[in-house]
Amino acid sequence: MGEFSRIGVVGGGAWGTAVALASLRAGRDTVLWAREPAVVDAINHDHENRDYLPGVPLPHDLTATADAAAVAGTDAVMLVAPAQHLRAVCERLAPHWTPGAPAVICAKGIEIATQSLMSEAVAAALPPGTPIAILSGPTFAAEVARGLPTAVTLACDDLALGGQLVEALGSRTFRPYLSGDLVGAQVGGAVKNVLAIACGVVEGRKLGDNARAALITRGLAEITRLALALGGRAETLMGLSGLGDLTLTCSSMQSRNMSLGAALGAGRTLDEVLGERRSVAEGVYTARAVVALAGRLGVDMPICTAVDAILNHGAGLDDTITALLSRPFRKEKH
């Protein structure tokens, strides 16, 4: 089977299950680690993750486990745990990690406590020298799980290693495109969740498609400014992990973040919406982290700041929208 014949996937939610299925379709022997024993049992015995991905039959050769050593001892590990928990999960995996095995980060977010990118958090938690790659792009878990055509960015500093991972994970319907820009790939994936909440508010408030298109465009400018300040490349944000992911997440109510914003726009409270969900809307947490990081770097991100004000500081929707629409006219630039 060549390089990376055995793949571990960390995270038993919808996206983790979908990543495991993509790995299986690429011909890899795949083991999935889940925190909840009920999820492990359902995958192994009922061949369905009914809690997070109901209605999608799972092949019998997908093995689930609650044993950290079993997943950390593979040839490469896909890290799909929620962003705010990823550092702690990696600390748990570290004693069992196969030396030299790459960590492929599939979580999208920025740490609240440290404003660290996921690559920084993972590097601090895993054994020194562990190779790190980023898998990001326009991916609804249910579509990937069903084998519908999907293209993603796979970013890695070591392009030779990245190419091996592309070959190991790629298939006819799951198409990784190689990049060397870890920063750009991560910033695009993280910030688009915050912007999707804003697009949901536009939908819930019935502000129209013109407003949503403008928000996506100006939101892309915010993503690009932050990525450049962190050392990323602008062209990365024009690709799958930037514009591609932003367009998908801001255009469909399949998006957990957009649907959350739509509920807020329709007058529901954040606690009400979150109380009904088992899955994580990463943008709720990333909003606070990205605004703190942008402030530290002196990057202007008015849309993200508005979302953070609504989610975390009690700002009213109508007043926040009015403030955005009252900003001074300026020359269009990124």
For residues 233-240, give the mean pLDDT.
98
Distance CA 46, CA 272 (A): 32
As annotated, the residues of the chain forming the CATH 1.10.1040.10 domain(s) are 189-325
Question: Domain spanning 6-180: which CATH class is it, in words?
Answer: alpha beta
Question: Domain spanning 189-325: which CATH class is it, in words?
Answer: mainly alpha
Contact (CB, 8 A) for 245 and 189: yes
Q: Render 215-247 in DSSP notation, one character per residue.
A: HHHHHHHHHHHHHHHTT--HHHHTSIIIIIHHH
Q: Is residue 171 scored above 80 in pLDDT?
A: yes
pLDDT tier, 334 (very low <50, low <70, confident <90, very high otherwise): low
Strands (E), the chain: 6-10, 29-33, 63-65, 76-79, 103-105, 132-136, 150-156, 174-179
pLDDT in tens, 172-216: 999 999 999 999 999 999 999 999 999 999 999 999 999 999 999
Catalytic residues: 192
As annotated, the residues of the chain forming the CATH 3.40.50.720 domain(s) are 6-180
pLDDT in tens, 69-86: 999 999 999 999 999 999
Q: Tokens 């495991």 appear where?
A: 20
Distance CA 128, CA 209 (A): 48
